[in-house]
């Protein structure tokens, strides 16, 4: 639990390792069942590749429903094996739950009895403990890494009533809220057939979004959890051909695949060159946010994108040459992303600027840096020391060191999960313990460091961010600055944009503009709700057209 609380804030910003730290492993069987009425198999895909199976059997006898479920798949090279036995009544109210697993700290068992509005948990493994948590009597049981129980959510949803309906789910060890909305019928293309199915969107505690496709009888054909990079298909069905993207739109530019050197590494990207009569074009370099992203803004294994390809398309159609690139260690770029530091990423940006200046179709005096999230930290760092940069654009840029931003994100997450105030304080204290280790002010055992997993490899990256003050950096920037912010961004709150703007005023920079888009989130997509992270799951949301038009107009005027 301590490891999870330390890691979750970083995951919000990086958006890459969510699944690894929320699933348990086991290779044991939960025991025998009553005679089976229904059996089946789900095929699990991770990052677009088949990664394992889930086998289930359901018995409905008298006033009792029993689910036996075994899930076996891989996430980022880690084997996930989970076994579960669940007893419910005919109203799908849980009676007993048994899970056997193995976490990084060792094997464990969880026995849970549900009675009188409580979940009474007995945990064996590591430190044996018994604890109680309040839970609604009709809460669904949705443990991480087990997918068939989403069928019971479909069974509970009232399609005649429609709209958004709220349920509760127990994930062991927490109860969370589920807001489930009927998205109507949709034809889903599988490799074997095209099937018209009902589509449900599930907002999981305001944090994760899932889609469920089921037939009229409630049989689930497909589940998609984009933020975890997971898709699940009923056996006999496989993913069909993905639908076309921005490449189908009219292009007034040509695309070039390019490589260039950053120190000893070869980095790769795409340059989009306007097809017009201009010989020397203004140029924009897109600097991605935190987490390993390719040139299109996609994170490996995840099913959503920040849509840098769409941004480049719009700008180059308007006469601006654009370079977007794969982060080091991602896609076609060499290097190791996991061990890369903030200094490394700054060096890569400088290498990309040098490359742009070598091109005969680029005006070296009209280069702009467009940074998103972490990229909006890097852009001022580069521009403050490079007087040849004509302008920078900061999309959702933090105004504080990363440790303070992570604490803000943690507080938001815990509140969305309805974690009590005392538990929130404890989680924040644990986070600060982790931060003191990053700063070298506290020693941890080898076992504690091992439990951190890949996050431990990011120690130097974190330390450099903790020591970096974006406000002091922005005060040294002399070029034109455009600050863009979504009013419903919960990763980087609106006041950060205001603070950066004020810092430029204080530094007597008279060439800066602040623009707030009230209904946009951290991805600069329009949100129907409050900008919950769960909405990131909607991969069909386009980057906002008003935002694109405003950015393009500003660049054409200022470059």
DSSP codes of every residue in 265-323: EEEEEEEEEE-SS-SSEEEEEEE--SS---TTSBPTT-S-B--HHHHHHHHHHTT-EEE
User: What pLDDT is attached to residue 300?
Assistant: 77
What lies within 8 Å, CB to CB, of 98 at 6+ separation is 30, 31, 84, 85, 86, 109, 110, 111, 112
Closest CA to 454 of 9, 2, 21, 5: 21
How many CB atoms within 10 Å of residue 397? 29
User: What pLDDT is attached to residue 443?
Assistant: 83
Summarize the confidence of residues 307-327 as an average pLDDT.
96
Question: Using CA atoms, how far apart are residues 32 and 55, in angstroms rounded to an integer?
Answer: 14
Task: Provide the pLDDT confidence category of residue 241 given band limits of 50, 70 and 90.
Answer: low
**Token pair of 357, please?**
């200046």
DSSP 190: B
State pLDDT tens for residues 470-479. Answer: 999 999 999 9
How many CB atoms within 10 Å of residue 29? 11
What distance lies between CA 44 and its chain's CA centroid?
Answer: 19
Question: Using CA atoms, how far apart are residues 279 and 549, in angstroms rounded to an integer?
Answer: 24
Task: Provide the pLDDT confidence category of residue 25 given band limits of 50, 70 and 90.
Answer: very low
Q: Which of 24-28, 364-368, 370-374, 516-520 has the lowest mean pLDDT?
A: 24-28
Q: Give the chain's count of helices (H) and strands (E).
A: 12, 23
User: What pLDDT is attached to residue 442?
Assistant: 83
State pLDDT tens for residues 430-468. Answer: 888 889 999 988 887 777 777 676 777 899 999 999 999
Residues 241 and 453: beta-carbon distance below 8 Å: no
3-class secondary-structure state, position 378: helix
Average pLDDT of the chain?
A: 88
Q: Which helix (H) or strand (E) holds 211?
A: strand 208-214
Domain extent listing, the chain: 31-234, 246-400+469-558, 404-451
User: What pLDDT is attached to residue 74?
Assistant: 85
Residues 59 and 35: beta-carbon distance below 8 Å: yes
Question: Using CA atoms, how far apart are residues 379 and 285, in angstroms rounded to an integer?
Answer: 10
Q: pLDDT at residue 349 above 50? A: yes
Task: Provide the pLDDT confidence category of residue 354 given band limits of 50, 70 and 90.
Answer: very high
DSSP 10: H
Task: Provide the pLDDT confidence category of residue 15 given band limits of 50, 70 and 90.
Answer: very low
Question: Using CA atoms, how far apart are residues 483 and 384, in angstroms rounded to an integer?
Answer: 16
> Strand (E) positions, 401-517?
480-486, 512-517
Summarize the confidence of residues 182-194 as an average pLDDT.
91
Q: pLDDT at residue 34 above 50? A: no
State pLDDT tens for residues 128-178. Answer: 788 888 999 999 999 888 999 999 999 999 999 999 999 999 988 788 999
What lies within 8 Å, CB to CB, of 445 at 6+ separation is none
Instruction: Give residue for tokens 């036996």.
Output: 68
Residues 335 and 81: beta-carbon distance below 8 Å: no
User: What pLDDT is attached to residue 424?
Assistant: 82
Summarize the confidence of residues 510-527 as an average pLDDT.
95
User: What pLDDT is attached to residue 14?
Assistant: 32
Q: Would you tell me which CATH number, out of the four given (1.10.3470, 2.50.20, 2.60.40, 2.60.120), belongs to the domain 31-234?
A: 2.50.20
Instruction: Give residue for tokens 């975890």.
Output: 228
What lies within 8 Å, CB to CB, of 221 at 6+ separation is 188, 190, 195, 197, 213, 214, 215, 233, 234, 237
Q: pLDDT at residue 344 above 80? A: yes
Residues 475 and 506: beta-carbon distance below 8 Å: yes
Q: pLDDT at residue 126 above 70? A: no
User: What pLDDT is attached to residue 365?
Assistant: 96
**Token pair of 539, please?**
């991969």
Summarize the confidence of residues 378-387 as an average pLDDT.
98
Looking at the DSSP bridge assignments, the partners of residue 99 are 84, 110
Residues 500 and 468: beta-carbon distance below 8 Å: no
Question: Using CA atoms, how far apart are residues 171 and 169, in angstroms rounded to an integer?
Answer: 6
> Strand (E) positions, 76-174?
78-88, 94-103, 106-115, 118-124, 129-134, 140-141, 164-170
For 246-400+469-558, which CATH class?
Answer: alpha beta
What lies within 8 Å, CB to CB, of 135 at 6+ separation is 114, 117, 118, 119, 168, 170, 175
Question: Using CA atoms, how far apart are residues 99 and 23, in angstroms rounded to an integer?
Answer: 12
Residues 104 and 453: beta-carbon distance below 8 Å: yes
Instruction: Classify strands 230-234 and 38-46 as parallel, antiparallel or unpaired.
Output: antiparallel
3-class secondary-structure state, position 94: strand
Q: pLDDT at residue 531 above 70? A: yes
User: What pLDDT is attached to residue 371?
Assistant: 98
Question: Using CA atoms, how far apart are residues 423 and 90, in angstroms rounded to an integer?
Answer: 34
3-class secondary-structure state, position 547: helix
DSSP 241: P
Instruction: Give residue for tokens 């429609």.
Output: 162
Q: Which helix (H) or strand (E) holds 262?
A: strand 253-262
Degrees, nearest 5: CA angle 238-244-249:
180
Integer distance in angstroms from the first to the last C-alpha of the chain? 50
Question: Using CA atoms, how far apart are residues 482 and 470, in angstroms rounded to an integer?
Answer: 15
3-class secondary-structure state, position 232: strand
Task: Provide the pLDDT confidence category of residue 37 given band limits of 50, 70 and 90.
Answer: confident
């Amino acid at each position: 639990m301590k490891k999870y609380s330390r890691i979750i804030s970083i995951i919000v910003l990086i958006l890459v390792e969510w699944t690894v730290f929320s699933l348990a492993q086991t290779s044991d069987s939960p025991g025998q069942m009553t005679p089976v009425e229904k059996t089946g198999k789900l095929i699990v895909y991770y990052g677009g590749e088949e990664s394992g199976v889930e086998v289930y059997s359901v018995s409905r006898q008298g006033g009792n429903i029993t689910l036996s479920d075994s899930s076996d798949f891989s996430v980022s090279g880690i084997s996930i094996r989970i076994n579960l036995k669940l007893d419910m009544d005919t109203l799908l109210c849980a009676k007993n739950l048994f899970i056997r697993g193995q976490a990084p700290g060792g094997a464990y068992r969880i026995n849970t009895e549900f009675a009188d509005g409580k979940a009474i948990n007995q945990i064996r493994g590591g430190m044996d403990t018994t604890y109680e948590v309040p839970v609604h009597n009709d809460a669904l049981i949705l443990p991480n890494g087990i997918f068939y129980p989403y069928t019971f959510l479909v069974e509970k949803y009232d399609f005649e009533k429609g709209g958004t309906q709220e349920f509760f789910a127990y994930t062991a060890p927490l109860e969370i809220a589920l807001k489930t909305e009927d998205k109507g019928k949709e034809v889903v293309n599988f490799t074997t057939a095209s099937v018209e199915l009902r589509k449900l969107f599930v907002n999981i505690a305001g944090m994760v979004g899932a889609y469920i496709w089921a037939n009229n009888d409630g049989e689930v054909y497909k589940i998609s959890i984009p933020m975890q990079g997971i898709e699940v298909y009923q056996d006999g069905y496989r993913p069909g051909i993905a639908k076309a993207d921005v490449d189908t739109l009219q292009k007034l530019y040509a695309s070039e695949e390019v490589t260039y050197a950053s120190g000893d590494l070869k980095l790769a990207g795409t340059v989009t060159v306007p097809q017009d009569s201009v010989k020397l074009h203004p140029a924009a370099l897109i600097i991605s946010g935190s987490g390993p992203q390719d040139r299109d803004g996609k994170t490996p294994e995840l099913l959503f994108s920040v849509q840098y390809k769409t941004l480049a398309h719009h700008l180059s159609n308007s006469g601006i040459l654009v370079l977007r690139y794969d982060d080091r260690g991602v896609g076609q770029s060499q290097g190791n992303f996991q061990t890369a530091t903030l200094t490394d990423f700054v060096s890569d940006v400088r290498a990309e600027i040098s490359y742009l200046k070598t091109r005969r179709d680029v005006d070296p005096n009209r280069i702009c840096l467009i940074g998103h999230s972490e990229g909006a930290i890097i852009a001022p760092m580069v521009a403050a020391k490079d007087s040849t940069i004509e302008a920078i654009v900061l999309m959702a840029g933090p105004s504080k060191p990363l440790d303070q931003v992570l604490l803000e994100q943690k507080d938001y997450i815990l509140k969305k999960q309805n974690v009590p105030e005392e538990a929130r304080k404890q989680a924040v204290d644990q986070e600060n313990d982790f931060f003191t280790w990053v700063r070298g002010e506290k020693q941890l055992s080898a076992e504690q460091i091992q439990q951190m997993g890949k996050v431990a490899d990011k120690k130097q990256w974190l330390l450099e961010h903790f020591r970096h003050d974006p406000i002091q950096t922005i005060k040294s920037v002399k070029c034109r600055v455009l600050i863009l912010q979504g009013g419903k961004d919960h990763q980087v709150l609106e006041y950060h944009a205001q603070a950066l703007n004020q810092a430029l005023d204080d530094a007597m920079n008279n060439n800066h503009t602040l623009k707030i888009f009230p209904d946009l989130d951290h991805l600069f997509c329009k949100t129907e709700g409050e900008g919950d992270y769960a909405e990131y799951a909607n991969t069909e949301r386009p980057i906002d057209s008003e935002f694109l038009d405003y950015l393009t107009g500003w660049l054409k005027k200022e470059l």
